[in-house]
Amino acid sequence: MNIAIIGSGYVGLVTGVCLSHIGHHVICVDNNPQKIKALKKGRMPIYEPGLEELMHECVIKRRLKFTGSIKEACQKSSVIFLALPTPPKPNGDADLTYIENASREIALNMDSYKLIVEKSTVPAETGKKIRRTVQLNLPKRFKDGNKILLDFDVASNPEFLKEGSAVQDFMNPDRVVLGVESKKAEKILREIYKPLKTKILVTNIASSEMIKHASNSFLATKISFVNAVAQICDRVGADVLKVAEGMGLDKRIGRQFLDAGIGYGGSCFPKDVDSFVRLGEKNGYDFGLLKEVRRINETQHQSFIHLIEEKVWNLKEKTIGIWGLAFKPNTDDMRSAASLKIIAQLQHEGAKVKAYDPKAMRNAASILKGVVLCKDPYSTIEDADALLLLTEWPEFKEVNFIQVRDSMRQAVIFDGRNMLDADKLEDMGFEYFGIGRGRL
Ligand code: UDX
């Protein structure tokens, strides 16, 4: 198949490279000339394990190209995926300007049948709006005095990949959801995903859009639920790790997404929960449950700060070393990362902050002000009054904690991800505090 991907951001690049890898001819489009220039030179602008190597392979096989022109992409493809940003507006609605503009441009450049597929997370009913925009902007063509009607379809095919394991998730999905309104669109999309040999669920467009809203919001609900449970664990002397294990053994519940911590971040969950709440409001439904999910997430880091204040005492002039800045491991992404809120609060209270992240240092340098960025975990905690672990990078388990203990001013660890071995650290002489471990 000849496929265009409009938007070479996170979702677009992973989708484009992976579709090319499974045998399709793909052209990725972006309106940022620097990005296209870098991609043409073989440089991947995001960090995602395995993606750059796969991109090189596909380019060598001549199945993957990059361009700044939607016109060129339209001419070369019959299927066009929209993987554009849908940032939140101040009222929580998703801003769909990029989607509308791209739909118009596709229409203006259409010369034969096209299947236009929503890939980025969009509010339910966006499919209808894309259809209308394309219809309104189709060029009028005539043959022998008769108007030629250009045929097209709109479909929804939400993306469920997680940052850090995106290639793996794309190649081995739990399911592929196809929201379609014609047999032709279904047939084309089935053909595209045939090499993946996975469960395919076909629905109408609205249901497909709702599956994405509901799935992400449900996962966010699981996280806020376990974070609320962790709050009570601390108060009654229970260990949330054991509680999650015990709950997770029930197949109906499952262990995944029951890791208590400093709250969810990233480019999806906070935005998607907001947009689902707004969708309810616009349609006369108050989604109170999700509002509470959001509230729990927004306050989770505050109780972490209170704990630090209680145990480290006055934060003014204290040195706090931070391990992990990305919103989760295996990514350099710091969008809506819990680390940002925690660092801002520490600085507000007058603490000196030093930080290290295995991959996010470049992003950190452009986002964080007044933070000493260190080259490794050890220099980060020299003379520190406390160590905060904010992202569960596996390499933090491999650190020599004797060396850490001896270079800190006070051997106190706050593990915001419950990643480290509390008993072992306490035996070494650390004071250890996790989330919901019942050890306060
Ligand atoms: C999420 C969805 O998982 C994915 O299906 C969708 O396509 C995009 O949004 P992503 O944001 O990449 O993916 O990361 P994910 O692994 O889901 O983690 C999101 C946040 O939740 C991270 O901040 C993570 O630390 C946090 N989290 C996750 C927890 O706090 N506890 C958990 O048990 C799981």
- 116 forms beta bridges with 80, 154
Range of the domain at 225: 218-433
Buried b (16+ CB within 10 A) or exposed e, 394-419: eebeebebeebbebbebbbbbbbbbb
Inside any domain, residue 210:
no
- Closest atom of ligand 1 to 121 CA is 7
pLDDT at 111: 87
pLDDT at 149: 74
Q: How far apart are CA 312 and CA 160, in angstroms?
A: 40
Mean pLDDT of 336-351: 97
Q: Is the CB of 119 under 6 A from ligand 1?
A: no
Query: Within this chain, do residues 188 and 229 fall inside the same structural domain, yes or no?
Result: no
Distance 162 CA to ligand 1 centre (A): 7
Inside any domain, residue 241:
yes
Q: Is the CB of 272 under 6 A from ligand 1?
A: no
> What sign does the dihedral 154-157-158-159 (CA atoms) show?
negative
- Closest atom of ligand 1 to 163 CA is 12
pLDDT at 142: 63
C-alpha closest to that of 5 among 94, 77, 62: 77
Query: Within this chain, do residues 133 and 228 fall inside the same structural domain, yes or no?
Result: no
Q: Is the CB of 121 under 6 A from ligand 1?
A: no
pTM above 0.85, yes or no: yes
Inside any domain, residue 438:
no
Query: Within this chain, do residues 224 and 179 fall inside the same structural domain, yes or no?
Result: no
Which two structure tokens, joined as six digits, stand for 187?
Answer: 């047939």
Residue with tokens 């209170």: 306
- 115 forms beta bridges with 79, 153
The residue whose C-alpha atom lies closest to atom 20 belonging to ligand 1 is 264
Q: Is the CB of 162 under 6 A from ligand 1?
A: yes
Mean pLDDT of 204-211: 95
**pLDDT > 90? residue 121:** no
The residue whose C-alpha atom lies closest to atom 33 belonging to ligand 1 is 257
Which two structure tokens, joined as six digits, stand for 242?
Answer: 């054991």
**pLDDT > 90? residue 324:** yes
Summary mean pLDDT of the chain: 95
Q: Is the CB of 266 under 6 A from ligand 1?
A: yes
Q: Is the CB of 264 under 6 A from ligand 1?
A: yes
Q: Is the CB of 158 under 6 A from ligand 1?
A: no
Distance 49 CA to ligand 1 centre (A): 16
Distance 167 CA to ligand 1 centre (A): 15
Query: Within this chain, do residues 281 and 161 fall inside the same structural domain, yes or no?
Result: no
- Closest atom of ligand 1 to 164 CA is 12
pLDDT at 124: 85
Read off the amino acid at residue 322.
I
Among 148, 171, 203, the domain-final residue is: 203
Inside any domain, residue 275:
yes
Distance 161 CA to ligand 1 centre (A): 10
CATH code (residue 366)? 3.40.50.720
Inside any domain, residue 239:
yes
Query: Within this chain, do residues 199 and 261 fall inside the same structural domain, yes or no?
Result: no
Q: Please say whether the beta carbons of 29 and 73 come within 8 A.
A: yes
Q: How far apart are CA 281 and CA 283, in angstroms?
A: 5
Distance 223 CA to ligand 1 centre (A): 9
Among 148, 170, 203, the domain-final residue is: 203
**pLDDT > 70? residue 430:** yes
Q: Please say whether the beta carbons of 245 and 256 come within 8 A.
A: no
**Structure confidence by residue, pLDDT tens digits, 214-232:** 999 999 999 999 999 999 9
Mean pLDDT of 388-407: 98
- 88 forms beta bridges with 94
Q: Is the CB of 12 under 6 A from ligand 1?
A: no
- The confidence band for 139, taking pLDDT boundaries of 50, 70 and 90, is confident
**Structure confidence by residue, pLDDT tens digits, 1-42:** 999 999 999 999 999 999 999 999 999 999 999 999 999 999
C-alpha closest to that of 125 among 274, 281, 290, 279: 279
Inside any domain, residue 208:
no
Q: How far apart are CA 24 and CA 170, in angstroms?
A: 15
Among 177, 203, 229, the domain-final residue is: 203
Alpha helix stretches (DSSP H) within 66-112: 70-76, 97-108
Q: Is the CB of 328 under 6 A from ligand 1?
A: yes
Distance 96 CA to ligand 1 centre (A): 23
Query: Within this chain, do residues 301 and 163 fall inside the same structural domain, yes or no?
Result: no
Q: Is 182 exposed, middle or buried (0-12, 13-18, 19+ CB in 10 A)?
A: middle
Query: Within this chain, do residues 176 and 248 fall inside the same structural domain, yes or no?
Result: no
Q: Is the CB of 160 under 6 A from ligand 1?
A: yes
**pLDDT > 80? residue 125:** yes
Distance 139 CA to ligand 1 centre (A): 42
Mean pLDDT of 429-434: 97
The residue whose C-alpha atom lies closest to atom 10 belonging to ligand 1 is 162
Residue with tokens 């030179």: 41
Query: Within this chain, do residues 199 and 222 fall inside the same structural domain, yes or no?
Result: no
- 356 forms beta bridges with 323
Query: Within this chain, do residues 92 and 147 fall inside the same structural domain, yes or no?
Result: yes
pLDDT at 316: 95
**pLDDT > 70? residue 410:** yes
Q: Is the CB of 259 under 6 A from ligand 1?
A: yes
Write out the H or E segment, with its range, that includes residue 82. strand 79-82
Inside any domain, residue 21:
yes
Domain count, the chain: 2
CB atoms inside a 10 Å sphere around CB 434: 27
The residue whose C-alpha atom lies closest to atom 5 belonging to ligand 1 is 160
- The confidence band for 183, taking pLDDT boundaries of 50, 70 and 90, is very high
Query: Within this chain, do residues 402 and 297 fall inside the same structural domain, yes or no?
Result: yes
Q: What is the DSSP string of 228-267?
A: HHHHHHHHHT--HHHHHHHHHTSTTT-STT---SS---SS
pLDDT at 400: 98
- Closest atom of ligand 1 to 336 CA is 23
**Contact partners, residue 188, CB within 8 Å, separation at least 6:** 1, 78, 79, 115
The separation between the first and the last C-alpha atoms of the chain, rounded to the nearest angstrom, is 59
268 assigned to active site: yes
Which two structure tokens, joined as six digits, stand for 402?
Answer: 């004797």
Query: Within this chain, do residues 111 and 229 fall inside the same structural domain, yes or no?
Result: no
Marked catalytic residue, from 18, 28, 58, 268: 268
- Closest atom of ligand 1 to 259 CA is 33
**pLDDT > 70? residue 388:** yes
What is the bridge-based pairing of β-strands 412-415 and 386-389?
parallel
Q: How far apart are CA 4 and CA 158, in angstroms?
A: 16
Query: Within this chain, do residues 159 and 278 fall inside the same structural domain, yes or no?
Result: no
**Structure confidence by residue, pLDDT tens digits, 60-70:** 999 999 999 99
**pLDDT > 70? residue 143:** no
The residue whose C-alpha atom lies closest to atom 28 belonging to ligand 1 is 257
Inside any domain, residue 43:
yes
CB atoms inside a 10 Å sphere around CB 363: 19
Q: Is the CB of 220 under 6 A from ligand 1?
A: no
Task: Between 137 and 91, name the one with better pLDDT.
Answer: 137
